[in-house]
Every structure is written in C-alpha cells, then in structure tokens.
Structure 1
Amino acid sequence: MDLNLLISFIGTVLILVWTPGPSVLLATANSLKYGAKKTTGTILGDLSANLIQIILASVGLATIITSSSELFQIIKWLGVGYLIFIGIKKIIVTPKTELKENNLKNRSFFNLYAEGFLMSAANPKAVVFFAALFPLFLNKDLPFVPQVVVLGIIFLILDGTSLLTYTYFATKLKGYLENKKKVHLQNKIIGSLLILSGLMLSLVRRTNN
C-alpha cells in the first residue's frame, strides 16, 4: 500500500473515532454502571457490527476500484465531499451528551454485547461512511482484498482503542461528556480537522489514476 495514503487513513480515522458519539456514550455509561470489564462486551459488539459494515460496504467496491479512472475519480470526490460534510455537521450541530442510565442492575456479557452490536448496526450512516472512506485509500493497481483487510484491521484497532480508553477512564470523563459546551468545542475542532483532511485528500495525485 502507498505509505502516504496509509498515514492519511490513520490520521483521518483517529480524528473520527475519538469523537464522542453514540458508541462512546454507551460504552462510558455501561462502564460506570457495570464496570470496565463487563463493558468489553459492549465494545466487542460495536466492533463486530463495524466489521460486518466494512464487509457490506466493500461489496461492489472492487468493481469501482478496477474500473475506469473517471468513475474512480467520481467516487473519490464523493468521499472527499462526505468528509467535508460530516466535518461541517460536527461544527454546526449541538451534540447529544446524555449518558443514559439503565434500570437493570445485573446484565450478562452477551446482553451488553448485543446492545453494543445493535447500537452500531442500527446506524445506516456507518455503511455509507465506510463506502465513502475506503475508496480514497485504495490503489486500483494492487489486489483489492488485502488492502480492505489492512484498512479494516487498522480501523477496528483504532476504534477499539478509543472505546477502551473512554471506558477505563469513564469516571473522569463522565463530567466532560455530559458538558455540551466542552463536547461541542471539541466537535468544532474535529469538524475543522475533517474538513482539512478532505481538502488535503482532494489534492492527492495518485499515479494509478
């Protein structure tokens, strides 16, 4: 894989996964109520759903990557536009920061896994995200599957690390995550970085196009 594209991918994913969202809030809330150890079930459920979404989003991408340069450029610019769109959205939309309490005092690992899985799987935007993001970092002259596998593994590792960090520091982060002004300020910064990432990716000239 192109090293520059790989570094760009890692940077973009790091910005995205560290943004407090539904999965982060769920993992944090469950950690506070059930403990960090049990909350690994929630995290594994979220990552399992992401894995399925990556596979679903990758179906059909092989044709796009190996097709004409013109079609690939269209997909590329759609991806750039998507990054800029979600960046603008993070800047202007006030985040929801409520850490929902659950009335059940004791829940099994499987129940927490299912909750994390459904939280992520119920978000149709995730498939759109993966479909828009991955083509930007794929080289059409290289085997498709290995590239998707590498990018998928990197995404899952970074996402899992983010959720684990939020989980294990839940007590300290709870006050921060419930402060809409602080979260909104962070989202504005992250949104600006996403827009910058999209603009930078739009300037990348790939020799295989």
Structure 2
Amino acid sequence: MMEIINTTLWFSFLGTVLIIGVTPGPSVLLASANSMSYGAKRTVGTILGDLSANAIQIALSALGLASIVVTSGEIFGLIKWAGVAYLIYMGVTKIMMKPKVGMFNKTISDKSFLKLYSEGFLMSASNPKAIVFFAALFPLFIDQNYSFLPQVVILGLSYLMIDGICLLIYVKFASRLKVYLEDKEKIHFQNRIIGALLILSGLMLSTVRRTTN
C-alpha cells in the first residue's frame, strides 16, 4: 500500500469520508424509508443503485482530474485548495442547514428489486453537485509523488465501501432510527457537529498540503 499511495493522506481520506457517510442525507433517508417499507434485504437494491451512480461519478471526475495532472501541476494545486475551500463550505452549509423531515410518511406499495435499485441510482445520479464534490474531494488526498491511477482506484473503492457500510447500518436499524431522523432538533444538532468536523478537516488538510507539496 505504501508503494502506491500516501498512507497518511489515505487515512485522512477515510476519516473525512466517514464523517460524510454518517450524515443523514437524501440517500440515507431514502434507504431508511425503503427499509421500513420493504425490508432490509430488498433495500440492498437501493444501496447498490446509489453506489453504482457514485462509481460513475467518481470515474467521470477522475478522467477530468487525470487530464489536469498531465497538463499542469500548478492547476492541480489550485484545485486542491479549491477542494479545501469546498470542504469548509460543506461544513458551513451543514451548520446553517434547516433539517427536513417527513421521508417516512409514505404510502407503502410493492416494489421490485429493480425498482428499488432505480430509485437509489436516480437519487444519487440526479445530484448535479456530485461530480463537483468528487472532483473537489479527491485532489486533497492525491500525492503527486505517486502514480495517479492507483491512488484514484484506492480512494474510489474506499469511498464506496465506507458509504455502502454506512447505508447498510442505517438500513439495518431504520426502525430504531425513525424517531431520531424525524426529530428536527436532533438532526440540527448533529448537522452542527458534522459541519464543525468538516471545517476542521478542511483546515487540517490545508496544513498538510503546505508541508507535502
């Protein structure tokens, strides 16, 4: 692992993605709602749909980043700092966000595995900010002293694994989490904590970049 990726940056990446993964966003709420309506096993389709869309978004982001790495290291450095700013922006947005509830007040109807997969895929794929998110996040954790492609593959697989595990946990305990996920005050309190952690993560990564580039 040490020969193809900077392990310090990789562990920082894992921590950052974990913070993002535990945040109850649209995909988490959809998977949780489907789990309570159709069962945890069938909701795996929703999770796989979400991860499939993420994999495509990661690939598209990586293609764009690859061309930048080849053509200009300076531009790549600027994108890294833009990523730091974006991470801090995400934190501020989380702190100021007004929680939305009501995802679990839905009419239950029978849905196939393919339908649940489609819901998860479309939920993630329809987010126009996703590619920008990955394009901003990945440069923060890529060391130009290592080959680009292996790093992107490891970071991409790590993201998908952590995101998938977080979704599975929410799906598994969806019924127990319903009261929490429908409580605006609790969600707002968590958003403030997550936002502060994201801002801290961005500030720490900016310091790392100054010493490693």
TM superposition score normalised by structure 2: 0.94
- The CA deviation string for residues 151-205 of structure 1, in whole angstroms up to 9 with x for no partner, is 0100000000000000000111000000011011001000000000000000014
1:207/1:192 Cα in 2 relative to 1: closer, same or farther (>3 Å)?
closer
Deviation at 1:68, TM superposition (A): 4.0
Deviation at 1:101, TM superposition (A): 4.2
SS in 2 for 1:60: helix
Which runs of 5 or more structure 2 residues have no equivalent in the other structure?
A: none
Question: CA separation in 2, counterparts of 1:45 and 1:100?
Answer: 20
Question: CA separation in 2, counterparts of 1:68 and 1:122?
Answer: 31
Corresponding residue of 1:200: 204
Instruction: Name the % identity.
Output: 61
Equivalent in 181, 187, 191 of residue 195 of structure 2: 191
Corresponding residue of 2:19: 15
Equivalent in 125, 128, 133 of residue 129 of structure 1: 133
Question: CA separation in 2, counterparts of 1:154 and 1:82?
Answer: 20
Equivalent in 155, 158, 163 of residue 162 of structure 2: 158
Structure 1 letter corresponding to 2:114: F
Corresponding residue of 1:173: 177
Q: Does the Cα contact within 8 Å between 2:84 and 2:202 map onto a contact in 1? A: yes
Deviation at 1:63, TM superposition (A): 2.6
Structure 1 letter corresponding to 2:171: T
Question: CA separation in 1, counterparts of 2:112 and 2:86?
Answer: 38
Which structure 2 residues correspond to residues 36-185 of structure 1 after superposition, within 5 A?
Answer: 36-185=40-189
SS in 1 for 2:98: coil
Q: Does the Cα contact within 8 Å between 2:23 and 2:194 map onto a contact in 1? A: yes
Question: CA separation in 2, counterparts of 1:64 and 1:136?
Answer: 14
Question: CA separation in 2, counterparts of 1:109 and 1:205?
Answer: 44
Deviation at 1:138, TM superposition (A): 0.9
- The CA deviation string for residues 77-124 of structure 1, in whole angstroms up to 9 with x for no partner, is 100000000100000111212224443521100000000000000001
Aligned length, in residue pairs? 209
Deviation at 1:66, TM superposition (A): 3.8
Q: Does the Cα contact within 8 Å between 1:66 and 1:140 map onto a contact in 2? A: no
Q: Does the Cα contact within 8 Å between 2:37 and 2:108 map onto a contact in 1? A: no
SS in 2 for 1:82: helix
Q: Does the Cα contact within 8 Å between 2:53 and 2:125 map onto a contact in 1? A: yes
